[in-house]
Structure 1
Amino acid sequence: MQSKVTGRTTLRQLYARDVGQGTPLVLLHAFPLSSAMWLAQRERLSSRFRVITPDLRGFGGSLLGDAEPSVETMADDVAALLKSKNITRAVIGGVSMGGYVAMALCRRHPDRVRGLVLADTKATADPDAAREKRLRMAERLTAEQRPDALVEEVLPALLGPTTMRQRPLVYGRVRGLVQSAPPPAAAWAQRAMAARPDSTDTLRGVKVPALVVVGAEDRLTTEDDARAMAEALPNAELTVIPRAGHLTPLEQPDLFDQAVAEFTAAVARAAP
């Protein structure tokens, strides 16, 4: 079933895992993974917070629907999910693609955001070459209906060299998640990310506290990208996680969880 929200076709409800009690903490997954990436965070953070991990449109247990590709539509999906759960405001966190959706949520539904966590993502739009690469991959995924393009082109850049050398179980898990990505959803998401706007002005207008996280070995969204976001945000702190690449919650879950837990607890103390 679908409904119209602010003029966009929005799924009635995303599939989401919802565990724990307390301050709502919504974690939005990276491309081309699913909410399965948040297993450690659900286990560890749910003792202190209400942890909600949706599958974004087309991934995991969520339907793709027929909307035009757009990160704004994905943000509307998350807002609709919060409304369905009677959650007025939440700390919103996103990694990579999830960060793009979190920034779109700040733009379209700022009243839903109590605090903001942006991990291994960036505020700028894609330059032409990167946009064209996304669109070529979307075409290949659509034509082949297999995840080969993701395994060949996306997977190698997701993890840092330390993980590749020392954490074979993490690599195996991430490879499995990438191979499980539905090609239609991955193609849709690539087109959505290719079309996303620059969010720097959005960050300048954010009125809530923010945490920016980046892996020291991230080759996709660099420490410079993270610092630019932290500088644009009026009230932000920056955490650089050592020996981690683009997927800090998976590569260094202890350090990531500690940073997010301390930030969310501070947000909860500061305002109702």
Structure 2
Amino acid sequence: MATTNPLTVLPRAARRFPRMAPDMSLLPRGKIITVADDVTTRIYDTGEEHLRPVILLHGMVATGMLNWYQTFQRLRGEYRLITYDQRHHGMGHNGPFGFAELSDDVFRLADHLELEAPVVGGYSMGGIVAQLAARQNPSRFGGLVLAATGTGAERNALEKITLGGMARTQPLLNAVPEEVAREITDQPLGPHEWALRELAATPMSTHRSVISEVGRFNSLAWLHELDLPVAIVKTMRDIAFPQRIQDEMADLLPHSAVFPIQGGHAVCATQPGRFARRMRTAIGWVVSNSH
């Protein structure tokens, strides 16, 4: 009896994602580790201990490698690249969820790997987590790269509408049925099947939790205290974090530089190659300006 390819039941937009599929042979294998306080996660680490470490924090709905695979492919050998699945995403820890816990996990991972002054890059939700971690102890980091993120959201009616729309219409998350994810998981995975499985690994309850946390976040009162270099990868067509929110972040930070990219909030998926090249420039600026 003929079998049905599970990918053919997906909406056309989902089948096109990601626009540039990863070359799986160029990516490090993920492994499950336990850090402080019995927090477990899946980590990807290029492992070059002689290179400057860069911790990359993914955004909502993504997993570590799904958000950053092109950055890993293009920057491997230039930096020691590290990413992991944050709580309630992918294979991340299933304990208490909140941005405070997520920021503590950055220190848990850095301590576990004995990293000295890592650069921390954060995308969307990951950028908020990076801000909170730097506020807690900026001396631990060599600098930040904040991409597609800002000082907060939901501070007026328009932003509430935008965040509410994100909660209802996450375009790709809702397009991957659970039965498709299960069927794909049992097969040797090609790059597109792998990406769809990663997308399906985050439950809708996590999306709602993250959006609620984003709505409560506001770093306007303390960003000026962060005495470390911060590069901002400014997404010019972003409706989740509009340009003015990204601009106010840059204006408040005492040591910042802006690296614009023409794209929306999902530019890491829609233009992964261009985004990775912009990350190279932004990380390089941070490293060259580190104390």
Question: Would the alpha carbon gap of residues 237 and 253 (structure 1) be closer, same or farther in structure 2, given more than 3 Å must change?
Answer: same
Question: How far apart are the structure 1 equivalents of 2:198 and 2:91?
Answer: 13
Q: Partner of 1:153 in structure 2?
A: 169
Q: Match of 1:200, as an amino acid?
A: L
Say whether residues 1:257 and 2:287 are aligned partners: no
Q: Partner of 2:94 in structure 1?
A: 64
Q: Partner of 1:234 in structure 2?
A: 254
Say whether residues 1:19 and 2:46 are aligned partners: yes
User: Contact 2:63 / 2:90 at 8 angstroms: preserved in 1?
Assistant: yes
User: Contact 1:33 / 1:181 at 8 angstroms: preserved in 2?
Assistant: yes
User: Contact 2:143 / 2:287 at 8 angstroms: preserved in 1?
Assistant: no
Question: How far apart are the structure 2 equivalents of 1:71 and 1:131?
Answer: 19
Question: How far apart are the structure 2 equivalents of 1:80 and 1:153?
Answer: 33
RMSD in angstroms over aligned alpha carbons? 3.3
User: Contact 1:223 / 1:240 at 8 angstroms: preserved in 2?
Assistant: no
Residue deviations 1:181-235, cap 9 Å, x none?
Answer: 2234334433433433x11233211111111112222111111111111111111
Residue deviations 1:207-264, cap 9 Å, x none?
Answer: 111111122221111111111111111111112211x110222223333222322332
Q: Match of 2:221, as an amino acid?
A: D
Q: Partner of 1:38 in structure 2?
A: 68
Q: Match of 1:223, as an amino acid?
A: Q
TM-score w.r.t. the length of structure 2 is: 0.70
Aligned length: 238
Compute the displacement of 1:47 (Å).
1.8
Say whether residues 1:54 and 2:84 are aligned partners: yes
Q: Spell out the pairing of 1:35-184 with structure 2 (5 A cutoff).
A: 35=64, 36-65=66-95, 67=96, 69-127=97-155, 152-155=168-171, 177-184=198-205
Question: How far apart are the structure 2 equivalents of 1:43 and 1:20?
Answer: 14
Question: How far apart are the structure 1 equivalents of 2:101 and 2:112?
Answer: 16
Question: How far apart are the structure 1 equivalents of 2:78 and 2:34?
Answer: 34
Q: Which has the larger radius of gyration?
A: 2
Structure 2 stretches lacking a partner, 5+ long: 1-32, 173-191
SS of equivalent to 1:255: helix
Q: Partner of 1:144 in structure 2?
A: none
Compute the displacement of 1:174 (Å).
7.5
Question: How far apart are the structure 2 equivalents of 1:51 and 1:24?
Answer: 6
Question: Would the alpha carbon gap of residues 174 and 246 (structure 1) be closer, same or farther in structure 2, given more than 3 Å must change?
Answer: farther
Question: How far apart are the structure 2 equivalents of 1:92 and 1:116?
Answer: 5
User: Contact 1:123 / 1:229 at 8 angstroms: preserved in 2?
Assistant: yes
Compute the displacement of 1:268 (Å).
3.1
Compute the displacement of 1:85 (Å).
0.3
Question: How far apart are the structure 2 equivalents of 1:266 and 1:220?
Answer: 26
Identity of aligned residues (%): 24
SS of equivalent to 2:41: coil
Question: Would the alpha carbon gap of residues 175 and 61 (structure 1) be closer, same or farther in structure 2, given more than 3 Å must change?
Answer: closer
Question: How far apart are the structure 1 equivalents of 2:280 and 2:271?
Answer: 14
SS of equivalent to 1:200: coil
Structure 1 stretches lacking a partner, 5+ long: 5-9, 138-148, 157-170
Compute the displacement of 1:55 (Å).
0.7
User: Contact 2:39 / 2:93 at 8 angstroms: preserved in 1?
Assistant: no
Q: Partner of 1:145 in structure 2?
A: none
Residue deviations 1:34-65, cap 9 Å, x none?
Answer: 11221111111112001111111011111211
Compute the displacement of 1:92 (Å).
0.8
Q: Match of 2:61, as an amino acid?
A: P
Q: Partner of 1:142 in structure 2?
A: none
Q: Match of 2:213, as an amino acid?
A: A
